[in-house]
Amino acid sequence: MNTALTKAESEYRDGPVVTALGILYSAELIGLAGGAAFVGTRGQERLDRGTTVLAVVLLAAAAMAGWHAIRLLQGARVLKVTGMALQSAILITAIAVATVRPIIGVPAVIVSAGVLAGWGRLARLGPPLAVADRPAPVVGTTTPPSAGATAAGASRGVSPGGIALMLVTSTLVLVALSVRGDMAVKLAILAIIFIPLERLFALRPLHVVRQGWRTDVVHYLVNGAARKVGLVGAVAVVGTVLQALVPAAFRSAVVATPGWVQIVAALGITAVGGYAGHRAMHEVPVLWRFHRVHHSVREMDWLAAGHMHPLDQIAIRSAAVVPLYALGFGRVSLGAIVILLTFQDIFIHANLRLTCGPLRWLIATPQFHHWHHARQPQAYNSNYAAEFPLVDALFGTLYLPADRWPAEYGIDDDQPDGYVRQLVWPLR
């Protein structure tokens, strides 16, 4: 009786959302099928060659969306990574279409965003989604090394393995600086900006030269160069493949739009793409192995933003930037977005007691992102967006208490010391 009652209550609670999602999915399927029919029949005249492949892709997207609608009717209440990727791609495409054909793109944005919002609502009503390899913290399982143990380790001196790791790390830093010699200058500028800010508006009393700061400097210098190389490679390979699916006439129309329109649309595209990429790093076990390097930090400050595995950093940033290249956005919007993403990423990790008042619902703040790093179960699976909390509200993953901050950060796993050890940690 209780089980039947619970099921009936669940169906009553979810019923309006499921009905709305059914309507939205119907509109989405009509739009995708209609787009495939138009591209297949009149695309050769209105667009350019190669539209047959695009028509097939649109039909495949319609088939996948239909399958997700069937799963919804069968009782699914959580949109998995593949569904999230598909709906994010549809929303990104709709935003791009809205820049050149608002009469078509704006309704498409409303429908695709509504589908994501509906699944997000179901996720909030249902049980929490599990995160790959992210168990609830157990008190007493991880303790910092005692002063005696530290002194004992120091008294043993430096081992040959430690000398080898130091040489490898130094070589990586020198190579990174030779590739991007301006990295050290940028690091110095960021230090001049954020160190005084963290002293004036400190959330927690951290030392400037906290434990592990040298490793984080290496992360910043080496990963910055690796990210540039990786992004260029991702754009050259993945971006070029995706660009082949976008008609040249459409890309030319995007480039012809005013610069401010491109920047606004690019912000929306990178926000959705970055969210999808970031969330995938949490929910796919093999990706989480790389992303946990970033979540292993126990002290949050501006320098912790660069504490990431380079492959993790390349993957998340590529998910945000590659769609811009494929859809034809110009260098002005691309350059502005990269600069904004870099500065915003450092700001939201900073040790700053800033909530920004009502603006915290519009712009990502340190409080917003600190909860993403919180070692507290109620905050897991939340705040994946890097720029706009409204994206998390749309996807149903927003967690932002008004007057509270996390008690502690990190994960249960203890990461190894040193950049090279942390580099190979996901492979072990």
Closest Cα partner for 129 from 77, 86, 88?
77
Residue 93 structure tokens: 């495409």
Do 221 and 120 fall into the same domain? no
Residue 373 structure tokens: 């790093």
Determine the pLDDT at residue 402.
Answer: 80
Q: Is residue 133 domain-resident?
A: no
Q: Is residue 241 domain-resident?
A: yes
Do 253 and 369 fall into the same domain? yes
Do 227 and 366 fall into the same domain? yes
Across the range 351-360, mean pLDDT stands at 85
Q: Is residue 163 domain-resident?
A: no
Instruction: Select from 73, 96, 124 the last residue of a domain.
Output: 124
Instruction: Select from 58, 93, 124 the last residue of a domain.
Output: 124
Q: Is residue 169 domain-resident?
A: no
Residue 46 structure tokens: 């209105």
> Rounded distance, CA 380 to CA 127, Å?
13
Across the range 347-352, mean pLDDT stands at 93
Do 267 and 395 fall into the same domain? yes
Q: Is residue 15 domain-resident?
A: yes
Do 115 and 259 fall into the same domain? no
Report whether 65 contacts 86 (CB < 8 A).
Answer: yes
Instruction: Select from 72, 92, 124 the last residue of a domain.
Output: 124
Determine the pLDDT at residue 139.
Answer: 36
> Greater confidence, 180 or 386?
386
Do 219 and 120 fall into the same domain? no
Backbone angles phi, psi at 145, to 5 degrees: -65, 145
Domain residues for 86? 7-124
Q: Is residue 23 domain-resident?
A: yes
pLDDT in tens, 60-85: 999 999 999 999 999 888 888 999 99
Window from 43-57, 243-257, 395-409 with minimum mean pLDDT? 43-57
Across the range 250-272, mean pLDDT stands at 90
Count of domains observed in the chain = 2
Do 228 and 97 fall into the same domain? no
Do 227 and 364 fall into the same domain? yes
Report whether 338 contacts 187 (CB < 8 A).
Answer: no
Across the range 413-422, mean pLDDT stands at 88
What pTM, to 2 d.p., does this model score? 0.84
Do 120 and 241 fall into the same domain? no
How many C-beta atoms surround the C-beta of residue 264 within 10 A? 15
Q: Is residue 59 domain-resident?
A: yes
Average pLDDT score, the chain: 82
Q: Is the pLDDT score of 48 beyond 90? A: no
Query: Where is 121: in which H helix or E strand?
Result: helix 102-125
Do 233 and 341 fall into the same domain? yes
Highest mean pLDDT: which range of 187-201, 203-217, 276-290, 355-369: 276-290
pLDDT in tens, 98-156: 999 999 999 999 999 999 999 988 877 655 444 444 444 333 333 344 333 333 343 34
Determine the pLDDT at residue 172.
Answer: 54
Tell me how far the alpha carbon of residue 122 is from its chain's centroid.
Answer: 21
Do 278 and 422 fall into the same domain? yes
Do 246 and 388 fall into the same domain? yes
Determine the pLDDT at residue 354.
Answer: 81
Q: Is residue 184 domain-resident?
A: no
Across the range 157-178, mean pLDDT stands at 56
How many C-beta atoms surround the C-beta of residue 57 within 10 A? 17
> Greater confidence, 180 or 264?
264
* Residue with token string 């990586």: 172
